[in-house]
Chains A and B, each alone.
Chain A
Amino acid sequence: MKVLDPRLDAHGEALQPARALPSLNGSVIALLDNAKIGTARFYDFVEEILTKEHGVREFIRRRKPDTTRPVPAQMLAEMSGADALISGIGD
């Protein structure tokens, strides 16, 4: 007997990791806060480490209005000038 695959995509979703930056020195990094209670403080440390130890020049920080929903398009556009974006998920 033949039975059917219950998944929407039988082959899964192929994730493509973003290409690494050649260097963080002098770069602009966007930090997208997912609006969880501890994220801002965590990002403070991330910013400090990336500045002192890796020479990141500038940060664009934004906080999503809602933890459970995607980042608004306008907010994403405000971060589009960054060389890389770190997006917070979970707690």
Chain B
Amino acid sequence: MNEAEPLSSAAYEVADDFEANELYQKNGWTDGLPIVAPTESRVRAFVAAASLSPDAVVGVEPVRRRRITAEKIAIAAVMAGCLPEYMPVVVAIVKALCEPQYGLHGSSASTGGSAPFIVVNGPIRNELGMNATHNVFANGSRANAAIGRSIRLFILNVLGGIPGQLDRSTLGHPGKFSFCVAEDEEDSAWTPLSVERGIPPGESAITVMAVESPHQIMNEWTHDPREILDTYAAAVRANMLTYSIWEGNYAIVVPKQHRQIFNAAGWAKQQIREYLYETCRVARREWRTVGKAAVAGRKDEERVYRALRTPDDLLVVAAGGPAGGFGAIVPPWYGQKSLAVTMQI
């Protein structure tokens, strides 16, 4: 990138990094955690790392028509603690979020309080030192944490997703700080998520999905793949009854201990999807068992609702530490109002 290319953002003079952080905290431009000061030179380096011009329009938010430039994405990435080489991943995520099917405006504004769940596939995971194993939903890798956080800061500052203003979340959830994982391709016999979703093998890609908080399940008491999946299905059904009954994408994150059971039984991701498609369903009358009798009777109570429109609605992700029968369901924000998007980096 030419150093002479102008940056469009307003600039503020501060004494040092400490004062910069204080300025951003005072103005509500952060998630409450300290930020790295987005100086001109840092932002230029990040834009260059994405091979873009500062004014390049990476995407347009479909509802409010906000034209999102590389410069603003770079500022968010610097603030979040990214390294320049993370930029192609961050840019791909923003592009994916701008796809109409993702429903970025609705999912950012909803009282339901969703977060983008980001799954990274391909060689870039290892190039950036991403974590796919121990403590995968939490701390363990700078890249996981900073990439996820950059998206929250982007939503906050570029889209105006300010709590109490555009962001009307009643509770939100901790994933709104950062929720980015790498899939464990090296220790998995399964087809990577990105390949299942149309990306050529060997290419780096991201998948984003608007989600509620993940719910962890545990089953260490069986080697029967069906029984393992019955535990996941129970969590999905509980989510349908207690949160949202509407069908759409769900993700499950499957740790090595469970994957070994599926591998021994010869079960690939497709069989898992088909089994959960059949078992993840509830009858409307079951709402009466969870305090929702007031709405159960509004329609046919024998109607059966599925979690998934088709087996392909289920995202099966191999991740987590090598020991422990702890998996998770990652439920959708709101049925089909937002659908997962996969994009090559």
Contacts and interface: CB of A to CB of B under 8 A. Distances in A.
Interface of A: 1-8, 10, 13, 66-70, 90-91
Contacts of A4: 7, 9-12, 38-40, 43, 71, 75
Interface in B246-293: none
A69 B109 CA distance: 11
A3 B39 contact: yes
Given A8-B72, A68-B337, A2 B29 contact: no
A5 to B, nearest CB: 4
A90 B111 contact: yes
Residue in A3, A4, A90 with the greatest tally of chain B CB atoms within 10 Å: A3
A1 B39 contact: yes
Contacts of A69: 63, 103, 105-106
Contact of A1 (B9, B37, B107): B37
B12 A5 contact: yes
Interface string B17-53: 1001001100001000000011110010000000000
Given A68-B110, A68-B337, A3 B157 contact: no
B9 A5 contact: yes
B43 A1 contact: no
Contacts of B160: 7-8, 13
Given A8-B66, A8-B160, 7 more contacts: A1-B17, A3-B20, A4-B12, A4-B40, A67-B106, A69-B106, A90-B111
Given A1-B37, A67-B337, A90-B168, A6 B12 contact: no
B111 A91 contact: yes
B313 to A, nearest CB: 18
A3 B337 contact: no
Nearest to B63: A70
Closest 7 pairs between A and B when the two form their complex, measured CB to CB = A68-B106, A6-B157, A4-B9, A5-B10, A10-B10, A2-B11, A6-B75
A68 B103 contact: yes
A90 B106 CA distance: 10
A3 B334 contact: no
22 contacts: A1-B16, A1-B17, A1-B20, A2-B14, A2-B39, A2-B40, A3-B14, A4-B71, A5-B9, A5-B11, A5-B75, A6-B29, A6-B38, A6-B72, A7-B29, A8-B67, A67-B106, A67-B337, A68-B107, A68-B337, A69-B63, A69-B105
A6 to B, nearest CB: 4
A22 to B, nearest CB: 31
Nearest to A8: B158
A66 B9 contact: no
A5 B11 CA distance: 6
A3 B38 contact: yes
A6 B25 CA distance: 12
B23 A3 contact: yes
B337 A66 contact: yes
B68 interface: yes
A6 B111 contact: no
A60 B10 CA distance: 45
Nearest to B30: A6
Nearest to A5: B10
A13 B109 CA distance: 17
A68 B23 CA distance: 34
A2 B63 CA distance: 33
A70 B65 CA distance: 11
A71 to B, nearest CB: 11
A10 B105 contact: no
B113 to A, nearest CB: 13
A68 B107 CA distance: 8
Contact of B13 (A2, A5, A8, A67): A2
Interface string B107-140: 1011100000000000000000000000000000
